[in-house]
Structure 1
Amino acid sequence: MAQHRDERQKSPSRAVLLEKFGGPENLTVQSVPEPHAGAGQIRIRVTAGGLNPMDWVMTSDAGTAARFGLSLPCGFGTDYAGVVDEVGPDSTGYAVGDRVFGTAVSRALADHLVIESAGNISTGVAHHTPDGVDDRTAATLSIAGSTAAAALAVLGLGPDDTVLIGGAGGGVGVFAVQLARIAGARVIGTGSASSADYLRSLGAEPVTYGDGLADRVRAMDGGPVTAALDLHGTDTVDVARELGIPDKRICTVAAAIEGVPAASGANAGPEALRRIARLVDTGDIRVPIAATFPVEEIRSAVELQAERHVRGKIVIDLSA
């Protein structure tokens, strides 16, 4: 099959790169050779990328980067959305002009992205974007949505459950709260006092994190808490145990604790993410976008995301 290109291909191709590992001050936008789709591959003209904590954690130092198989010079970003503009020979399932979203670990923030048409979450994958989901929203779904889905699969929530979600207002929390509510569970979400209205808008009953959290949860009406999800570290796990929740009904995504199940986006099958995309398309899940930055302002975007106080998702715009 002949390669297909759009007119934008004539412009220089940009990519966010790191020449050395470290903080956001090392991120630069550089002109790079334009890649093309080979056999079994597709090329995507990326229009938007969604930031995740894993992006800057993976590239924070050489040792961490090596554990993820990254070497210099290194790309940046994992979530993307865009349009297929080349289809290589022997590629199936995609056509030029298809809108897609997905993951490409530490290389998603680039004008052009080449992935295997039969790829996976580790090597790079593309899902078809529903018509009713815009690219900026689609770019936020993959990592956070998959992580939330995997965690809730561990907990197996239902209408008889009340789940305590630590870090409910963050990128993964946005999906975890709403998926738990769709499953019929009551959700108590931790956050700052100023985030209470935001958490209510997602469907959670807000409670302020920090010392005395277990007592504040006990004082809430509605019965005992039956499950817990810790999205930041171990604080919520400690409180869950204090509340008498058995370890098998506690889940972490950012820490390993003996006896407590852990989940990551790699544990979620592709159908889980396609379901989330459909729920966004129908309006049953909404994705608050806290801020959008042009790719030239990538350093400022990562600095804001790294503060870990953002309500919702941060999106990088590559459409210009």
Structure 2
Amino acid sequence: MDKSRLTRLRPTRSGGTPVAASTNETIPDTMRAVVFDAPGDAGVLREERIPVPAPVLSEVLVRVVAAGVNPIDAKTRGGRGAHSGITQHPSTLGFDFSGVVVSSPYESHPLPPGTEVFGMVPFPRSGGTYAEYAVVPTLSVARKPTSLSHVEAAGVPLAALTAWGLVVETAHAHEGQRVLIHAGSGGVGHFAVQLAAYFGAHVTATGSERNLPWLRDLGAAVTIDYATTRFEDLVDGVDVVIDLVGNVHDDTGTRSLTVLRPGGLYIMVPTGSWPDYAEAAARAGVRATSYKVIPDGSVLSTLARLLDSGAIQVYVDRVFDLAEAPDAHREIERGHSRGKVVLRIGDA
């Protein structure tokens, strides 16, 4: 095969080192993106044309087909979450994506142009994924699961990596372990339930009444309707609580400490939802930690194999077009989505 047909050298817009790029796809100078100029409600999001980012060193340039929408996006847009790391506006939101590599660091790179990938960008250190193109560190990306569409794959990275970190790396889920997962039907929650069950844990999950049968299908042994039942009336002596709610609703965090066995582990996930959880846990005689997602491409590859094998699944509740990003944020903020909300940005 003539290698000149596969790659060419295209100078970066900054005049730096040339990067390998696909011959059959022209990379434009500007792209559609959703940006915001200052913190506010969902209405501050607007579509604009901005420069296409240029990859450097070991980064790949990806044409984004779909992007996941996460609660941290809405918090950041509102001035909380990761907003303190944004150095200038207008800024583009978005952590995870599924798309196609259009530029690789070098000709023999394992992710050559044309490779379908999914992963996470280092927002807010770089531009987000609510855009037609994104630059991604090669260690934060993996080949897309072949069994998933780009829309489905875009709902995986941040949520599934968070769930993996909670269940596998922090809770060390194992046969017979008793795990309580709050908000089990959300983006992170539905992956956490599946992974904990996959590794043999006895899973209790809280959720709304309509989601209880679905949570049982995902692997939860016990399901609790948080609106009608106090979970502490049904469970006790659990080994681990994975709290995806915190004390922002009905003192969920405080009540969770009472159902842990002595020395059990409480994991706080939502940013800023309960600032003094560690002190409260110490008084209750249990361990506690927070958790922040690690965008690890090798773990993404493992998750891709689990998804392709059918061991776990992703559920996409709503899909919005890029220009409908404000509506996607309003949907996230309602807090009743099952699984994931995704933005459709381009064609595969």
Indicate whether the TM-score tops 0.5: yes
Moved more, 175-184 or 52-61: 52-61
CA distance in 2, matches of 1:269, 1:65: 19
**TM-score of the superposed pair, with normalisation by structure 2:** 0.80
C-alpha contact 2:319 2:341 (8 A) present in aligned 1: yes
| Change over 3 Å in CA distance of 1:99–1:304 after alignment to 2 | same
Aligned to 1:278: 305
Aligned to 1:293: 320
Aligned to 2:43: 25
Quick check: 1:2 aligned with 2:15?
no
1:252 to 245, 251, 268: 268
| Change over 3 Å in CA distance of 1:73–1:149 after alignment to 2 | same
CA offset at residue 212 of structure 1?
Answer: 5.3
CA distance in 2, matches of 1:285, 1:263: 22
Mapping for residues 203-282 of structure 1, pairs under 5 Å: 203-204=219-220, 205-210=222-227, 213-218=230-235, 224-234=237-247, 235-246=251-262, 248-254=264-270, 255-256=274-275, 257-258=277-278, 259=282, 260-266=288-294, 269-282=296-309
* Paired letter, 1:108: T
- Post-superposition CA distance 1:54-108 (Å, at most 9, x none): 11112212x7555224431100111101001122458833201111111122511
Quick check: 1:199 aligned with 2:215?
yes
1:168 to 184, 197, 205: 184
CA offset at residue 215 of structure 1?
Answer: 4.5
C-alpha contact 1:292 1:316 (8 A) present in aligned 2: yes
C-alpha contact 1:163 1:229 (8 A) present in aligned 2: yes
**Equivalent position SS for 1:316:** strand
| Change over 3 Å in CA distance of 1:318–1:225 after alignment to 2 | same
CA offset at residue 132 of structure 1?
Answer: 2.2
Percent identical among aligned pairs is 27
C-alpha contact 1:40 1:90 (8 A) present in aligned 2: no
CA distance in 2, matches of 1:127, 1:225: 35
CA distance in 2, matches of 1:189, 1:64: 25
Quick check: 1:74 aligned with 2:87?
no
Gaps of 5+ in 1: 120-124
CA distance in 2, matches of 1:212, 1:290: 25
C-alpha contact 2:98 2:150 (8 A) present in aligned 1: yes
CA distance in 2, matches of 1:65, 1:155: 25
Number of residue pairs the alignment of both structures matches: 308
| Change over 3 Å in CA distance of 1:162–1:137 after alignment to 2 | same
CA offset at residue 14 of structure 1?
Answer: 0.6
Moved more, 108-117 or 183-192: 108-117
- Post-superposition CA distance 1:96-146 (Å, at most 9, x none): 1111111122511111112343x5xxxxx3222132232112211211111
Q: Tell which structure's C-alpha radius of gyration is larger.
A: 2
* Paired letter, 2:119: G
- Post-superposition CA distance 1:199-224 (Å, at most 9, x none): 22222221021575245424xxxx85
| Change over 3 Å in CA distance of 1:311–1:241 after alignment to 2 | same
CA offset at residue 237 of structure 1?
Answer: 3.5
**TM-score of the superposed pair, with normalisation by structure 1:** 0.87
CA distance in 2, matches of 1:132, 1:227: 32
Aligned to 2:131: 110
* Paired letter, 1:277: A
Gaps of 5+ in 2: 1-7, 11-20, 283-287
| Change over 3 Å in CA distance of 1:34–1:240 after alignment to 2 | closer
Aligned to 1:53: 71
CA distance in 2, matches of 1:319, 1:11: 16
C-alpha contact 2:177 2:202 (8 A) present in aligned 1: yes
CA distance in 1, matches of 2:305, 2:113: 22
| Change over 3 Å in CA distance of 1:207–1:70 after alignment to 2 | farther
CA offset at residue 155 of structure 1?
Answer: 1.6
| Change over 3 Å in CA distance of 1:67–1:33 after alignment to 2 | closer
CA distance in 2, matches of 1:151, 1:38: 32
Note the aligned Cα RMSD (angstroms). 2.5
CA distance in 2, matches of 1:98, 1:251: 36
Mapping for residues 172-187 of structure 1, pairs under 5 Å: 172-187=188-203
Aligned to 1:83: 100
**Equivalent position SS for 1:84:** strand
1:13 to 28, 31, 38: 31
CA distance in 2, matches of 1:82, 1:126: 10
Aligned to 1:122: none
- Post-superposition CA distance 1:231-287 (Å, at most 9, x none): 111444333322243354221111451141121212x75433322221111111111
* Paired letter, 2:190: V
C-alpha contact 2:181 2:193 (8 A) present in aligned 1: yes
* Paired letter, 2:98: A
**Equivalent position SS for 2:234:** helix
